[in-house]
Structure 1
Amino acid sequence: MESEDTKKTQEMKTDLNLLLECLKYQMDNAFSQKEALVTIHSICQQNSNASVYFREIGGLMFVKNLAKSSEHSMVKEAALYTLGAIAEKNVYCQQTLCTSELFEDLTWFLSNDSNINLRRMSVYVILVLVSNNRTGQTLVRETGCITVLSRLFRTVISKHELDLSDKNVFQSYQLWSSVCSTLCVCVNNPQNDENQMFCCSLFPHANEWLKNCMTPEIIRPICSFIGLTLANNTYVQKYFVSVGGLDILSQVLMQLESDSHETLSSAKLAVVVTKTVDACIADNPTFGIVLSKYHIVSKLLALLLHESLDSGEKFSIMLTLGHCTEDCAEKLSLSLGEYPFDENETQQLKDINVKENNLEEHWRKAKEILHRIEQLERERNEEEIQRESYQDTISSMNISIQNTWKHLHADQIGQGSKAEDEDKSHSRQLQSYKSYGVMSKACTNDDQMKTLLKSANPVHACYRESEQNKTLYKAKSSCNQNLHEETTFEKNFVSQSRSIYIMFRYNK
């Protein structure tokens, strides 16, 4: 197996060397160069070590220079595509390519009258170099590349005519969509405050898009861009609200929620807008007052009842509801009176109110159960301590009895033949005392008890000691059994109580 892997690795290295030679010696043959670049891309995608080796033999820098110097557009496009794929596959290659020189070249491709495919490949390389790379985020701003991206965002496609069935329009839309994705990683992946501040200047244009073109192809990329640009940045959030962005989102959400009763896609799209609204108000609950003008809480509650939404989507809605009502004049209890609903919507909201009240009552009971659980746990701990103390006492008693028996047995051996001669008479006397219940009374006198024990037969003493041990053992076993049964009952009750509490808590 090891030899087979070694053989494949060697073949991969041989192929890359031959392909690099082909690139170098076929400068006049654009088609051959394109085919070689496509093959290099394929090899690097299939083998994670291929990108590293290609960089080591100088192939990465050669392809970068080829993208800049070639006179053939198809070679430039293939070279950029190969660079992007290699950088995406290997972080070391990404760092090698992340230079001001390359960003300036990419900016030049975007700024001039390059064909749309070349610009798409340029945007793709920028996206790969910036993604998860703070150095790339800095360079995209310092080289002016982000400025060109912003211009493409505003001008590539018309806000009023978006006929994706037209081939040219569709290609322009693909470029615009790639620009949106690249701007998203410029501002937040990781979060970059300076790039967020720059990109917030595009909010008015984004608002126009939302107002004029409510289609998934526009709303999804626009909402992603807005959400990531204002995420965790209170200044940008305030600016977005000041230019009417939250009002526009609210209006779009209202329309989509209304359409969701007819089409499933509208419900899914409404969740996308809901997440964007939440990103705007999460750090500024006071913005909820803007939402109250559009009765967004009622709309979100109605959307929450949509059966087609999965648990993740419903969770996003509930999270937004929490932020909406945190510091908002619009309350759930007032929703029915403030906004006109048809009979079905009114009944649905009434049902929600009833469920809310029931959950409150269940939550109160769950707290009581939790309090009882804690009390039972404390009592169980105390009984554990008492049981351990009892067991220690029993052990001490057993040791004491055994020592007493040994002492008595030693004394009886010392009595010798005298005890043997008097054995029968004393045995009859003991039997008589036992028969008439005198034994317990006689033992109340210490001196008499000692005399009686000294004159007793060792066999009887041993038998009596055995009977005492049996009695103590039975008492101890009975006590332990009772403790075990009581502990088992408490554990079962505690387990059941915990299950009820957890169920109520998550239903809440």
Structure 2
Amino acid sequence: MQTSMESEDTKKMQEMKTDLNLLLECLKYQMDNAFSQKEALVTIHSICQQNSNASLYFREIGGLMFVKNLAKSSEHSMVKEAALYTLGAVAEQNVYCQQTLCTSELFEDLTWFLSNNDSNTNLKRMSVYVILVLVSNNRTGQTLVRETGCISVLSQLFKTVLSKYELNLSDENVFQSYQLWSSVCSTLCVCVNNPQNDENQMLCSSLFPHANDWLINCMKPEIIRPICSFIGLTLANNTYVQKYFISVGGLDVLSQVLVQLESDSHKTLSSAKLAVVVTKTVDACIADNPTFGVVLSKYHIVSKLLALLLHESLDSGEKFSIVLTVGHCTEDCEENQYDLFKSNGLPLMIQVLTESQNEELNKAATFVLHNCKKITEKLSLSLGEYSFDENEEQLKDVNMKEKNLEDYWKKAKEILHRIEQLEREGNEERVQREKYKDYVSSMNINIQNTLKHLHADSSGGGPKAEDKDKSQSRKLQSYKSHEVMSKACTNDDQMKTLLKSANPVNACYRESGQNKTLCKANSSCNQKLREETTFEKKNFVSQSRNSADPT
């Protein structure tokens, strides 16, 4: 049986080689027949996509270099487009083909196609596609795209391809221009990231003002998603670029967009999902520089994020992104810490801890709780700034509220400690598991009672505050209490160390099925950014296939 299978594989391999040889001959002897050449190129692409060894063999017989030269020398635009499309597909399939094509000569040819006014939109799209494939996961490609001036041409296209903010995608010409622009965004993303390239990040940062204009004037998913991916990856782990982004008003623009999307999320599900995309970009900007969070306090972003957290449609990964951003907002900004307290953030974070089974989400919530401790230390000063005109009785009331806050914070910590203790006991004695569940259930009731009094005292004690707390408890998605805090840090220094590196856009992939510690939780957010870029890339390939297909 095995011999028969090997024989079948050998037969298929030989047929593949025969087909590629015939197709290459067809390309060489049909120079005057553009349609035949296009059909041959599309067929070559199809074969290489079906067989990973086909790309290597096509390179061995000289087909790769012939197609490269054909793309440059052919007088027919359709042949140029099909040739570039085939080059990109073959290079994407095989890293050795990618390395063979990764030359300054090809980058210069592609740059010429992009800058030539005679090139139609589809030819430019095919050129961008080849650049994207050559640069992806390839530092040599990232260097060549910069040294040949190709990245400068891409930047110019980013600014000029779309001329109107209205973006009427039902118009065929506008739609084709948008496809080109979206492809340029994806290509710029791989120019700066994976591996991270500081020099390319610096060059691409010059596009921030233009990106800001688009975010303000065209709040559509088709614009927000690619621009947020571009911004997030361009400033990732680069303090200088982050500071520049803030200096040109980028964080203010993102805040305004986030406020609007959060408001719209009460009506449409898509706005909630889009708000999470913007949230990740905000986090990428402040994760390495928590002091930048003061910019967000002007827009009460913390309260907006807490409101977004209650959206029923969000999954645990999206909630993790929100909670982690809240953590970075409150890490070193007193205004945001106070906003967290006023917006009932402490009860929400404790509720996340007691009800969620997601380890990353739990640790992000613990990060926020660690920041909450600072509120008790600084609240007196924060409230004092607003209390100079208060009478003596009102000041006494403020002091009493602060004392109550400290008391309830101690109770919350005590409850969390007891949950952690029970978790350890549960690991040691499995026969006590049912009893442990009863204890946790009882403690959840105690938490709710504690949080009810906490919010009542912090808000002024009125029935409206209590109703709000109950409403939020109902809205937050409920999970069974399980393994809560079993791996939480045991002291403040560990917590700071654990979460200091939680930059959401570090270049780190998360293996399928594994749970990382929060030191690597940053990969979760970065993966989302990459997934969006990868989706655009795959969509681009699919669209390219349609445009290159003679049928």
Aligned position for 1:87: 91
Q: How does 1:95-494 map to 2 (within 5 A)?
A: 95-113=99-117, 114-331=119-336, 333-334=338-339, 352=348, 355=351, 361=411, 363-368=413-418, 492-493=431-432
TM-score by length of 1: 0.72
* 1:6-46: CA deviation from partner (whole Å, max 9, x where unpaired): 10000000000000000001101111100000000000000
Aligned-residue CA RMSD in angstroms? Answer: 2.8
From the superposition, tell whether residues 12 and 372 of structure 1 become closer, same or farther in structure 2 (CA, over 3 Å): closer
Aligned position for 1:505: 485
Aligned position for 1:438: none
Mapped partners of 1:229, 1:334: distance in 2: 30
From the superposition, tell whether residues 242 and 311 of structure 1 become closer, same or farther in structure 2 (CA, over 3 Å): same
1:334 Cα offset (Å) = 4.1
Matched, 1:17 2:21: yes
Residues 293, 333 of structure 2: 8 Å contact kept: yes
Task: Please give the secondary structure, in 1, of the residue aligned with 2:231.
Answer: helix
Gaps of 5+ in 2: 352-368, 370-404, 441-480, 489-551
From the superposition, tell whether residues 327 and 55 of structure 1 become closer, same or farther in structure 2 (CA, over 3 Å): same
**AA matched with 2:33:** N
1:361 Cα offset (Å) = 3.9
Task: Please give the secondary structure, in 1, of the residue aligned with 2:11.
Answer: helix
Mapped partners of 1:237, 1:270: distance in 2: 20
**AA matched with 1:272:** V
1:375 Cα offset (Å) = 10
Residues 159, 212 of structure 1: 8 Å contact kept: no
1:502 Cα offset (Å) = 6.1
Mapped partners of 1:102, 1:262: distance in 2: 49
Q: How does 1:55-70 map to 2 (within 5 A)?
A: 55-70=59-74
Mapped partners of 1:215, 1:313: distance in 2: 20
Mapped partners of 1:62, 1:95: distance in 2: 16
Mapped partners of 2:134, 2:270: distance in 1: 34
Residues 196, 229 of structure 1: 8 Å contact kept: yes
From the superposition, tell whether residues 374 and 94 of structure 1 become closer, same or farther in structure 2 (CA, over 3 Å): closer
From the superposition, tell whether residues 14 and 375 of structure 1 become closer, same or farther in structure 2 (CA, over 3 Å): closer
**AA matched with 2:234:** T
Task: Please give the secondary structure, in 1, of the residue aligned with 2:196.
Answer: coil
Mapped partners of 1:76, 1:68: distance in 2: 7
Residues 288, 327 of structure 1: 8 Å contact kept: yes
**AA matched with 1:4:** E
* 1:265-303: CA deviation from partner (whole Å, max 9, x where unpaired): 110000000000000000000000000000000000000
Mapped partners of 2:424, 2:263: distance in 1: 48
Mapped partners of 1:60, 1:319: distance in 2: 47
Residues 359, 504 of structure 1: 8 Å contact kept: no
1:219 Cα offset (Å) = 0.3
Mapped partners of 2:421, 2:273: distance in 1: 42
**AA matched with 1:146:** I
1:333 Cα offset (Å) = 4.9
**AA matched with 2:245:** F
Aligned position for 1:34: 38
Residues 84, 126 of structure 2: 8 Å contact kept: yes
Residues 257, 267 of structure 1: 8 Å contact kept: yes
From the superposition, tell whether residues 496 and 9 of structure 1 become closer, same or farther in structure 2 (CA, over 3 Å): farther
Gaps of 5+ in 1: 338-345, 378-487
Aligned position for 1:445: none
Residues 23, 44 of structure 2: 8 Å contact kept: yes
Mapped partners of 1:34, 1:118: distance in 2: 14
Deviates more, 1:146-155 or 1:495-504: 495-504
**AA matched with 2:275:** A
Deviates more, 1:93-102 or 1:159-168: 159-168
1:505 Cα offset (Å) = 1.8
Mapped partners of 2:60, 2:435: distance in 1: 64
1:58 Cα offset (Å) = 0.3
Mapped partners of 2:424, 2:327: distance in 1: 30
**AA matched with 1:40:** I
* 1:143-177: CA deviation from partner (whole Å, max 9, x where unpaired): 00000000000000124231111000000000000
Larger helix share, 1 or 2: 1
* 1:40-92: CA deviation from partner (whole Å, max 9, x where unpaired): 00000001100000000000000000000000000000000000000000000
From the superposition, tell whether residues 336 and 56 of structure 1 become closer, same or farther in structure 2 (CA, over 3 Å): same
Structure with larger RCO (C-alpha < 8 A, sep 6+) = 2
Residues 329, 336 of structure 2: 8 Å contact kept: no
Mapped partners of 1:492, 1:184: distance in 2: 53
Residues 420, 486 of structure 2: 8 Å contact kept: no
From the superposition, tell whether residues 236 and 54 of structure 1 become closer, same or farther in structure 2 (CA, over 3 Å): same
Mapped partners of 1:28, 1:249: distance in 2: 54
TM-score by length of 2: 0.66
1:365 Cα offset (Å) = 3.8
* 1:328-364: CA deviation from partner (whole Å, max 9, x where unpaired): 1224554576xxxxxxxx7x87963885898974652
Residues 373, 494 of structure 1: 8 Å contact kept: no
Residues 254, 296 of structure 1: 8 Å contact kept: yes
1:319 Cα offset (Å) = 0.7
Residues 303, 339 of structure 2: 8 Å contact kept: no
Task: Please give the secondary structure, in 2, of the residue aligned with 1:241.
Answer: helix
1:374 Cα offset (Å) = 7.9
**AA matched with 1:218:** I
- Identity across the alignment (%): 79
Mapped partners of 2:430, 2:87: distance in 1: 64
**AA matched with 1:319:** L
